Amino acid sequence: MATMTADERRELERRRYNAFLAGCPGHELLAALSDKWLTLVVSALADGPLRHSELARTVAGASQKMLTQTLRKLERDGLVSRSVTASVPARVDYRLTPLGESLLPVQRAIKAWAETHIGEVHSARERYDASGA
């Protein structure tokens, strides 16, 4: 087995986690984080744990199936934890993990940017559509 220099190891690591490269594991995570349902669920859980029915009311437009799939994805990725309390019926609560909470500042910044610039985006869309491009 050939040994690598420190520079070669650094280059290998740089290529391994370069989101611009097709084989980068970051592609999958970026795709997941850009999912609108994931974004809405994480935002809904920002103020504390919620039950599935509370999330369904908060995240308008998400079907029960989509909400369940999103919660499972978030739990699998370590962003949300699920706790079951034995009762009749069983109580299931979802909450952000510390990893999920670390995503909130990024999401809040994107939300603030969107709210600040939505008028400009609408204007740009109108200009583009009117140009016939």
Torsion on CA atoms 100, 104, 110, 115, rounded to nearest 10: 130
**pLDDT score, position 23:** 72
Specify whether the CB–CB gap between 45 and 94 falls below 8 A.
Answer: yes
What secondary structure letter does DSSP report for 132?
T
Q: Residue 15: which pLDDT band, with cuts at 50, 70 and 90?
A: low
Tell me whether residue 38 is in a domain.
yes
Q: What is the pLDDT of residues 23-35, one digit of tens each?
A: 777 777 888 888 8
Q: Could you give the number of structural domains in the chain?
A: 1
In this model, does residue 61 exceed pLDDT 80? yes
Distance separating alpha carbons of residues 94 and 71, to the nearest angstrom: 8
In this model, does residue 43 exceed pLDDT 80? yes
Could you tell me the residue range of the domain that residue 86 belongs to? 6-131
b/e string for 63-84 if b means 16 or more Cβ within 10 A?
eeeebeebbebbeebebbbeee
Neighbours of 40 (CB within 10 A): 19
Output the pTM of the full model: 0.75
In this model, does residue 17 exceed pLDDT 80? no
Tell me whether residue 97 is in a domain.
yes
Mean pLDDT over 28-55 rounds to 90
Report which of residues 13 and 90 the model is more confident about. Answer: 90
Tell me whether residue 1 is in a domain.
no
Percentage of the chain surpassing pLDDT 70?
95
Distance separating alpha carbons of residues 91 and 84, to the nearest angstrom: 6
Report which of residues 99 and 91 the model is more confident about. Answer: 99
- Domain of 85, CATH number, reads 1.10.10.10
